Structure 1
């Protein structure tokens, strides 16, 4: 009968299939490194690196970083990858503890996974990525022996299901809360939505960069680009009758590249690049930073969250009307 370890492995393999996997920036198309392994090969390399020394492994550092970025985006995909690459070293121990202490093996395994996930949450800040994997393993080993000695059903598989099903951590809640502009004084949701789009369009027009936005809009209208538009369209609240096409919503972050260099991110944050490097190495950078080869890549969405820049949902019509108004043109009737 499948246990929690088997379910983790099946879940992750179902996500990735046989396609190449990018552990640097999460997207094979956007990564500067052109050679990417399939998931089974990546998993095999991660397991071997973890046995040798996870704290000195760039692969594990990248995987932990992708897990943190995935958490910020409301996804548990990479968190499950990390668990899947850790649980092989849990299997033998859980079997031994179950045999020696006469405790159900499934209970031991559920306790180990639950504890590893708790450590994952506890090390979200202040702990360098290179140390996270070893802390998860150490805590899981300790709870396995504790569970064996106590011999009581303190941990159940239902506890693990709670982690799988819960998509919103404290960080994710803050991210989603920051994506809504405070327009509480406006009772009409349609009007508030329109103002959000017009404000952003006027801002970009004032910065002199709306020509690039028009190119993005042309790609959306022609179907050459989709981006995250599907997520916006799926929001049932977006159903205004006065818009040209309900499929032309998108997130503000879709206008920007997914990742930028550490130098550009440091400039936005108002710190020196050397200081940014020191913070990354010490594990004290305020949000996760991906590593691709010898360079660091900063998630624009994570940077927006740090700077409290709302990742609002907007519509093409509102953006263009706001830009037109800011440019001194007449608003179309």
Structure 2
């Protein structure tokens, strides 16, 4: 009968299907590394790689970072993928515990997964990504033995050693903490919304990046791409009578690259790049850093959250009006 391990595997394969998987930035199209496997091949590599080798260490660092980024976005795709790549080494132990201590195998496996997830939540800060998987595995093994011993069986078994195995795209724009004007004191929501958009347009125009806006807006209008604002948001109080099209709302973060390099992120954080590297190695970096080759990629949305930069919803008309005014137009 299918158990929790099977159900996790089925769910992850349903999510990824036969598409190529990118563990560096999460999007094959935006990744600088051009070779990507399907999830089936990725799963095989992740579960069989030796934790002491540098390439496999980087692989698992990237997986942990992608899991943390998914957590920030309220998703669970990469957390499930991490579990799916860990649980193969749980199978033989859970079977032995079930047999030797006469406990239900499904109970043991469910407890192992629940414990691994508790460790996942507890290691979000202060633990280096390269150690997270080891802790998840060890805790799951420990709880399996506890369940067996609590059952009171007189059967004996040898001690089991923990099985350890793994384990800019750029646009012509720059992220700045001053990107959004604070309009929280304005009571009229329509006015506040309009000012936010105009402020963005003015800033991009004054910094010489209006081409970024023009190209993005053109793509929105001709349907070759869409903003990340959902239909529900677009139709819930964001539609003003004088705008051209209520579907042309988007988040400010859509104008920025999804990921930037660690050097650029350190500049925004106002710390030296060497300090950023030390924080990552110590597991104290304030948000996930995804491994990409020998370097790191930093999520712009996570960086904006760290700097308390609101990811405002704006409309193309307001943004273009602000750029026009900044350029000396009517």
Question: TM-score per shorter chain, which class?
Answer: 0.7 to 0.9
Match of 1:74 in 2: 74
What SS is found at the alignment partner of 2:298? strand
Counterparts of 1:182-221 in structure 2, within 5 Å, are 185-221=185-221
Match of 1:86 in 2: 86
Aligned length: 301
Match of 1:23 in 2: 23
Q: Distance in 1 between matches of 2:62 and 2:228?
A: 28
What SS is found at the alignment partner of 1:264? helix
Mapped contact 1:50–1:60 kept (Cα < 8 A): no
Q: Distance in 2 between matches of 1:230 and 1:287?
A: 22
What SS is found at the alignment partner of 2:80? helix
Counterparts of 1:150-299 in structure 2, within 5 Å, are 150-151=150-151, 185-226=185-226, 229-235=227-233, 236-237=235-236, 238-299=238-299
What SS is found at the alignment partner of 1:291? strand
Counterparts of 1:6-17 in structure 2, within 5 Å, are 6-17=6-17
Which sections of structure 1, spanning at least 5 residues, go unmatched? 153-179
What SS is found at the alignment partner of 1:247? helix
Match of 1:42 in 2: 42
Deviates more, 1:27-36 or 1:184-193: 184-193
What SS is found at the alignment partner of 2:138? helix
Point out 4+ residue stretches in structure 1 off by more than 4 angstroms.
50-56, 180-188
Change beyond 3 A, Cα 1:202–1:225: same
Change beyond 3 A, Cα 1:209–1:70: same
Q: Distance in 1 between matches of 2:239 and 2:3?
A: 43
Deviation at 1:311, TM superposition (A): 1.2
Q: Distance in 2 between matches of 1:32 and 1:182?
A: 35
Q: Distance in 1 between matches of 2:312 and 2:37?
A: 35
Deviation at 1:193, TM superposition (A): 2.8
Q: Distance in 2 between matches of 1:73 and 1:50?
A: 30
Change beyond 3 A, Cα 1:268–1:129: same
Q: TM-score, normalised by structure 2?
A: 0.83
Q: Distance in 2 between matches of 1:257 and 1:78?
A: 21
Counterparts of 1:58-137 in structure 2, within 5 Å, are 58-137=58-137
Change beyond 3 A, Cα 1:324–1:44: same
Which sections of structure 2, spanning at least 5 residues, go unmatched? 153-179
Deviation at 1:190, TM superposition (A): 3.6
What SS is found at the alignment partner of 1:225? coil
Q: Distance in 1 between matches of 2:96 and 2:55?
A: 26
Change beyond 3 A, Cα 1:90–1:50: farther
Change beyond 3 A, Cα 1:117–1:329: same
What SS is found at the alignment partner of 1:71? helix
